[in-house]
């Protein structure tokens, strides 16, 4: 966690160095980029505050055990629970790998895990920013298609990797 945190700051420092070089080499290009950045920053702030609020609400009301306890349900229901879990699960995917491995060893199929990982790409807290850039209609269509594809991927993987559960 600490390593990742540091990496993010290094990334910002490298970008700032690029800007410093730009400032020295081409001042007018620097001004164009900075004004673009300021405009972008002002536009994104409201969406970013909403992202924080949604992150907080989800973390407060949902925990990892309540997300994964239904993953061993029969038929299509297990995928539905994986969909719900995946969309509300927070944090980067690799944080979930140990828990998913444990669940797999306890009988949860690879298809359900794939479904969970795929629909993690639909992050409810982040949707305001997607709407900001692409509009509500696009966001809604994309989210629905992604949810359907999550289940299809889960079913395909369950067909390919058969486990003795």
Tell whether residue 116 is a contact of another protein (CB under 8 A).
Answer: no
Tell whether residue 9 is a contact of another protein (CB under 8 A).
Answer: yes
Phi, then psi, of 156 in degrees rounded to 5: -60, -45
| Exposure letters 105-123 (e unless 16+ CB within 10 A, then b) | eeebbbbbbbbbbbbbebb
CA-to-CA separations, 104 to 18, 112, 113, in angstroms, rounded? 45, 9, 8
Closest by CA position to 100, among listed 75, 67, 124, 74: 67
Tell whether residue 50 is a contact of another protein (CB under 8 A).
Answer: no
Q: Are 95 and 64 in contact (CB under 8 A)?
A: no
Residues 101, 107, 136, 162: which binds another protein (CB under 8 A)?
101
Residues 18, 20, 21, 76: which binds another protein (CB under 8 A)?
18
Residues 4, 24, 74, 165: which binds another protein (CB under 8 A)?
4
Candidate ranges 70-78, 79-87, 115-123; the one touching another protein (CB under 8 A): 115-123
Q: Are 86 and 120 in contact (CB under 8 A)?
A: yes
Provide, rounded to whole angstroms, the least separation between the CB of residue 73 and another protein: 20
CA-to-CA separations, 119 to 12, 32, 74, 105, in angstroms, rounded? 29, 38, 19, 21
Tell whether residue 108 is a contact of another protein (CB under 8 A).
Answer: no
Residues 56, 76, 77, 136: which binds another protein (CB under 8 A)?
56
Closest by CA position to 156, among listed 107, 112, 125, 94: 112
For another protein, the binding residues (CB under 8 A) are 4-5, 8-9, 11-12, 14-16, 18-19, 22, 29, 32-34, 36-37, 40-41, 44, 48, 51-52, 55-56, 59-61, 63, 90-94, 97-98, 100-101, 104, 110, 113-114, 117-118, 120-121, 123, 126, 129-130, 132-134, 137-138, 141-142, 145-146, 149, 152-153, 156-157, 160-161
């Amino acid at each position: 966690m600490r390593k990742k945190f540091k990496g993010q700051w290094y990334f910002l420092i490298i970008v700032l160095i690029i800007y410093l070089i730009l400032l020295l080499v081409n001042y007018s290009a620097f001004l164009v980029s900075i004004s673009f950045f300021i405009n972008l920053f002002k536009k994104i702030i409201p969406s970013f505050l909403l992202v924080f609020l949604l992150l907080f609400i989800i973390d407060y009301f949902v925990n990892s055990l309540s997300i994964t306890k239904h993953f061993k349900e029969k038929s299509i229901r297990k995928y539905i629970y994986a969909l719900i879990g995946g969309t509300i699960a927070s944090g980067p995917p690799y944080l979930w790998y140990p828990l998913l491995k444990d669940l797999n060893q306890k009988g949860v199929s690879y298809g359900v895990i794939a479904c969970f990982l795929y629909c993690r790409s639909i992050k409810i807290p982040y949707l305001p920013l997607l709407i900001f850039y692409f509009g509500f209609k696009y966001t809604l269509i994309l989210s629905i298609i992604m949810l359907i594809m999550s289940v299809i991927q889960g079913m395909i993987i369950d067909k390919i990797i058969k486990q003795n559960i």
